[in-house]
Amino acid sequence: MRELEFLPDWYPRIFRRRRLVMLQAWMVLVFALGLAAWSFLCGRNVQTARAELSTLKGDMSQTDMDLKKLDQLLELKRQWRLQDQVIARLGVHVPSARLIAALESVMPPEMALLNLSVDTVEQPRTVAKPNGKSEIVVDRQIKIRMLGVAPTDLDLANFMTRLTSERYFEQVSMSYAKERQERGHIMREFEVVFSVNLNIAGGNVQ
C-alpha cells in the first residue's frame, strides 16, 4: 500500500535552504570569531612591539650615555698614557711633574697641547782630571718636541717669549707655524723644539 504524502513539494526545498542558511550563519559566526581573535592577537602583538621599541629606545639612550662615558675614559686614558710616556722618557734626574708644571705655567689658557714627544739623549765624552788621568762622563739632555695650537699669532709669540725666558729650557726653536681650521675656527698650529740640560745642577727643574 502506498504511503500518502501530506507535505507539499516545496517543503523539502525550503528545509534544505533553511539548513544552508543555518550553515552559512555558522560559517559567518566562525569567520567573525576568527577575525576577532586575529584582531586581538594583532593588537597584542602591536602592544608588545611598542613595549619592545620603548625598551629598545631606552637601551639605546643608555648605550649613548655609556659611549660618551667611554669616550671620556678613553680620552683620560690617552692623557695618562701621554704622561706615562713623558715620565718614562724623562728619566730619574728630572721630576716629570715639575717639567709638565713648568710647561703649563708658560702656556696661555687659550693654547692647547696636541702632542708631546720627549727623548733622552746621552753622549759620552772624555774629561781630563788634575792627576793626569781621564775619565768618561756622559752628557745627558732631554729633547722635547711639542705640537700645539694657539688662537692667534700674538698668543703664540707670547708663549715663545715665556718659553725662552725659562732658565732650564735651552735651544728653543720653532719648527713651523701654519694655519689650521677646525670646526669653522682658524687657529695657528705650531711645533716647538727645545731641550733640558741634565748636567746642570743635577738636571732638576725647579
Q: pLDDT tens track of the chain, all 206 residues?
A: 455 555 566 666 776 777 787 888 888 888 888 888 888 888 888 888 888 888 888 888 888 887 888 888 888 787 777 766 555 555 444 556 677 778 888 888 888 888 888 888 888 878 777 777 787 777 778 888 989 898 888 888 888 998 898 887 888 999 999 888 877 778 889 999 998 887 754 444 44
Q: Are residues 78 and 114 in the same domain?
A: no
**Residue 143 belongs to domain with CATH number:** 3.30.1360.100
Q: Are residues 142 and 167 in the same domain?
A: yes
User: What is the residue-wise DSSP string for 137-154?
Assistant: EEEEEEEEEEEEEESSHH
Q: Are residues 176 and 196 in the same domain?
A: yes
- Strands of the chain, DSSP E: 112-128, 134-150, 170-182, 185-197
Q: Are residues 10 and 68 in the same domain?
A: yes
Instruction: State the pLDDT at residue 91.
Output: 46
Which range of residues forms the domain containing residue 48?
1-90
Q: Are residues 192 and 118 in the same domain?
A: yes
Q: Are residues 103 and 133 in the same domain?
A: yes
Q: Are residues 47 and 102 in the same domain?
A: no
Instruction: State the pLDDT at residue 203.
Output: 42
**C-alpha to C-alpha distances, 171 to 93, 146, 158, 205, nearest whole angstrom:** 20, 13, 17, 16
Q: Are residues 32 and 105 in the same domain?
A: no
Which residue, 146, 84, 143, is CA-closest to 116? 146
Number of folded domains that form the chain? 2
Boundary residue ending a domain (90, 118, 145): 90
Q: What is the mean pLDDT of the chain?
A: 78
Which grid coordinates belong to 135?
775619565
Longest dimension (CA), the chain: 164
Instruction: State the pLDDT at residue 92.
Output: 43
Instruction: State the pLDDT at residue 109.
Output: 81
Q: Are residues 102 and 198 in the same domain?
A: yes
Q: Are residues 69 and 106 in the same domain?
A: no
Q: Are residues 10 and 85 in the same domain?
A: yes
Boundary residue ending a domain (90, 108, 143): 90
Which residue, 191, 108, 192, is CA-closest to 154? 108
Instruction: State the pLDDT at residue 191.
Output: 93
Boundary residue ending a domain (58, 90, 122): 90
